[in-house]
Amino acid sequence: MASAVPMPADWRDLVALTKPRVMTLVVFTGLCGLLVAPGHLSPILAFTAILCIALGAGAAAALNQWYEVDRDAKMKRTARRPLPDGRMSRETALHFGVGLSFFSVLLMGFATNWFAAAILAVSILFYVFVYTIWLKPRTAQNIVIGGAAGAFPPLIGWAAVTGDIAALPVALFALIFFWTPPHFWALALFVRMDYANAGIPMLPVVAGEAATRRQILGYTSIMGVAALAPVLLRLTGPIYGLTALIATGLFAVMAVQVALNRETDPERMKPERRLFKYSVLYLFLLFGAVVVDHWVFAA
């Protein structure tokens, strides 16, 4: 449980509250959306747009931890976060998260356009209210629907340049959306007891490990279609297509290994840990390939 008298917040705790490791993927996918968008932003405005995406993601993470402090205190992998560890008051986290939310949205609006700012605002609100407060404590499908929260950055990056959305950023949104379940369920398999202790109905807790492994394989198949959709729809070129084909094939092999695994000891779930780690690299590879493809084949 969190300490009754929290210590004054240190700047490092405020940074930790934004989940900087998670933010790197958010920032990268947003940057890729910005780089492949038609049009031009000055380097300063482009940097500001990406900064706003990072600040918005950090704000959502802070509000998530503000709301979940009691659950985080019951999980080994989150018990040392600033709030459950008693290094910060909930009030500080709430004020920090709300303030950062407003600042990121307003700065995005003034620096680029209000359509991009609106999408950023929706992404923050979706993560906090739809995923954290509504879905996560109530349904094992939390990460399926809630996966949309992490899929907004390429839309935001694109909209910051163009003021609208198009087929390519929507396809990239879909890729992240369908990537999220196998990514998080691989993690949930080897931290299942953490979720159980915290009363969070993640799929392995409520449906069991075998069902989760089948679902990982099923969603990997859907993700594969989403990964190849940009090249099949001629939104990208052969560099992305070849990268997506090889990287997705490797992802599928790992998903099959997870589906066939019968290990119940979390410490020995090597296929699950391997898939979880690779899934992060997978998204970096595909989004990087989108940018390289654009630079090489753009008219």
DSSP 9-76: PPHHHHHHHT-HHHHHHHHHHHHHHHHHSSS---HHHHHHHHHHHHHHHHHHHHHHHHHTHHHHTTST
| pLDDT higher than 50, residue 295 | yes
Per-residue pLDDT, averaged over 274-295, amounts to 97
Please indicate, yes or no, whether residues 198 and 157 belong to a single structural domain of this protein.
Answer: no
The mean predicted confidence, pLDDT, of the chain is 94
Three-state DSSP class for residue 78: coil
State the pLDDT at residue 8. Answer: 62
Q: Is the pLDDT of residue 191 over 80?
A: yes
Count the alpha carbons within 13 Å of 6 in the hemisphere toward its beta carbon. Answer: 20
Burial of 26 (0-12, 13-18, 19+ CB in 10 A): buried
- Between 298 and 37, residue with greater pLDDT: 37
Residue 4 lies in a domain: no
Distance CA 13, CA 267 (A): 29
Does one domain contain both 93 and 186? no
The phi, psi pair for 18, rounded to 5°, reads: -85, 0
**Domain end call among 124, 141, 164:** 164
- What CATH number does residue 53 fall under? 1.10.357.140
More confident residue, 155 or 146: 155
Last residue of a domain, one of 164, 181, 197: 164
Query: Is residue 224 in a domain?
Result: yes
Last residue within a domain, chosen from 124, 144, 164: 164
Q: What is the pLDDT of residue 2?
A: 46
Residues 6+ apart with CB under 8 A from 248: 223, 224, 227, 228, 282
The predicted structure's pLDDT at residue 10: 79
| pLDDT value at residue 1 | 45
- pTM listed for this prediction: 0.93
The answer, yes or no, to whether residue 7 has pLDDT greater than 70, is no
Q: Is the pLDDT of residue 80 over 80?
A: yes
Burial of 220 (0-12, 13-18, 19+ CB in 10 A): buried
Range of the domain at 268: 166-299
| 3-state SS class at 179 | helix
